[in-house]
Amino acid sequence: MKFIYQTWWKVLAVVLIFYTLIAGFLIGVPRLPILHETIRNTYFHVPMWIAMFTVFTISVIYSIKYLQTGKEEYDLLAVECANTGLFFFVIGLVTGMLWAKYAWGAYWSNDPKQNSAAIAFLLYCAYMVLRNSIDEEQKRGKISAIYNIFAFPIMVVLIMVLPRLTDSLHPGNGGNPAFGKLDLDNRMRIVLYPAFIAWSLMSVWIATIRYRIRLIEYKKNSID
């Protein structure tokens, strides 16, 4: 847990995002019809989802750790990671909707990817509702940890697996790996992969700040 108080990875996150902001606009991209310059959205829309997956994964890890040890801190970290994940979830959905308006013709076209992402969002909203409806500390921790462990794989299936089994407008679905070998060339990779790392670190940073605030609140409440 010493890691969250260190500075070097926060600096790394800022430097890498800064690089993707500059390089993402100035480095060349493949010339594709329909997409035009909006292909650069890849640098900013997709990392939101990667960041979300990162904090949700950490959340599950600490939910499991909480069930093993019963340490209240782990429970707090799991919740704050899920909170931060929801934030990036919303940003990912909204940026996706904006892009869909110009690439697919409508903000929401009931695409399998969009619909299952919306269901997964509700799944995590239910986690928050469930958590906040239980007053007793240990009960709340245990029930929400178990719910979290079940919600995570369902969320992954909803977002990553199910849309790929049917036809979808979204790249990478319905046997259409659009942003694969053809469209995503190496000029894009040198921006996209650092963006994945950078935004993941950024989401972890925000989650740890929230966790540290919550820890102080928790300690204050237990003294009173």
What residues line the site for other proteins (CB under 8 A)? 5, 8, 10, 12, 14, 17-18, 21-22, 25-26, 28-33, 36-37, 185-187, 189-190, 193-194, 197, 205-206, 209, 212-213, 216, 219
CB of 25 to other proteins, least distance (A): 5
How far, in Å, CA of 184 to CA of 192, rounded? Answer: 9
Q: Would you say 78 or 191 has its CB closer to other proteins?
A: 191
Helical segments of 27-111, H only = 42-69, 72-103
How far, in Å, CA of 170 to CA of 176, rounded? Answer: 9
Q: Would you say 15 or 129 has its CB closer to other proteins?
A: 15
Q: Would you say 33 or 110 has its CB closer to other proteins?
A: 33
CB of 34 to other proteins, least distance (A): 9
How far, in Å, CA of 180 to CA of 79, rounded? Answer: 35
Burial class (CB in 10 A: 0-12, 13-18, 19+), 144: buried
Q: Would you say 24 or 85 has its CB closer to other proteins?
A: 24
CB of 136 to other proteins, least distance (A): 25
Do 210 and 84 meet the contact criterion of CB atoms below 8 Å apart?
yes
Q: Would you say 110 or 221 has its CB closer to other proteins?
A: 221
Q: Would you say 159 or 207 has its CB closer to other proteins?
A: 207
CB of 13 to other proteins, least distance (A): 9
Residues contacting residue 60 through CB under 8 Å, at least 6 positions apart: 78, 148, 149, 152
How far, in Å, CA of 93 to CA of 117, rounded? Answer: 8
Amino acid identity for residue 46 in this structure: V
Tokens standing for residue 204: 């972890």
How far, in Å, CA of 212 to CA of 210, rounded? Answer: 6
CB of 174 to other proteins, least distance (A): 23
Q: Would you say 19 or 108 has its CB closer to other proteins?
A: 19
CB of 86 to other proteins, least distance (A): 19
CB of 33 to other proteins, least distance (A): 6
